[in-house]
Amino acid sequence: MKEILTNEVKLNNQDVNTIDRKEFMRQVGIGFGAIMLMNCLQSCGVGGEIPDPNPTTNTKLDFTIDLKTNDYSGLKTKGAFAVVKGQNVIVAHTNNDTWIAVSSKCTHEQTTINYRASSNDFLCPNHGSEFTFIGNVQKGPATSPLSRYNTSYDATNNTLRVFA
């Protein structure tokens, strides 16, 4: 282990060890670095997980809609859509009898979007952003796409599964 460089000085007839300025600054720097490292590691969250900076693109999602319930029975009609608020997802039954699901919040200012069956796309009523049926921006001011989710329709149980 390296010894600390010191100078012996007499103060009031007593020997006093002093540290030189360069060594003092080195030790302060090491201590400061250790404190900063500890704070950085703690800020990564529980279990060392780093939070996703863009959660809309990497959302683990898996839920099922019962199309027999009043909230979602309208989805049996082609051209209809419903917003699943608890999941922030909009589900649409296209005129081509397919199902699509994307995030329900406009990427511009988080306004809830609508589905337009006539053009098979999504529209933000706030500032007019338009998104294709797969969530890509086709007209701004939004610049980021909507998250798109997979769907699986079970005709026997009349349910629709939405998952990432």
- 71 shares a domain with 43: no
Residues 138 and 114 in one domain: yes
- The verdict on 64 and 19 lying in the same domain is no
44 and 71 fall within a common domain? no
- pLDDT at residue 20 in the model: 81
Number of domains forming the structure of the chain: 2
Positions of E strands within 12-158? 14-19, 62-66, 81-84, 89-93, 99-103, 114-116, 121-123, 130-131, 137-139, 148-154
pLDDT recorded at residue 27: 83
**Same domain flag for 96 and 62:** yes
Q: Which domain holds residue 34?
A: 6-48
22 and 65 co-located in one domain: no
In a domain, 44, yes or no: yes
Q: What is the pLDDT of residue 59?
A: 52
Give me 91's structure tokens.
């589900």
Tell me, yes or no, whether 1 lies in a domain: no
Q: What pTM was computed for the model?
A: 0.63
User: Quick one: 141 and 109 in the same domain?
Assistant: yes
Blockwise average pLDDT, block size 10, the chain, 164 residues: 53 67 81 67 44 48 94 94 94 96 96 96 96 96 96 95 96
Q: Kindly provide the b/e burial profile for residues 62-92, where b requires at least 16 CB atoms within 10 angstroms of the residue's own CB.
A: eeebebeeeebeebeeeebbbbbeebbbbbb
Residue 133: CATH number of its domain: 2.102.10.10
Looking at the structure, tell me whether residues 20 and 68 fall in a common domain: no
Rounded-to-5 percentages of helix, strand, coil across the chain:
20, 35, 45
Q: Do residue 69 and residue 139 come from a single domain?
A: yes
| Per-residue pLDDT, 65 | 94
Would you state the pLDDT for residue 56?
46
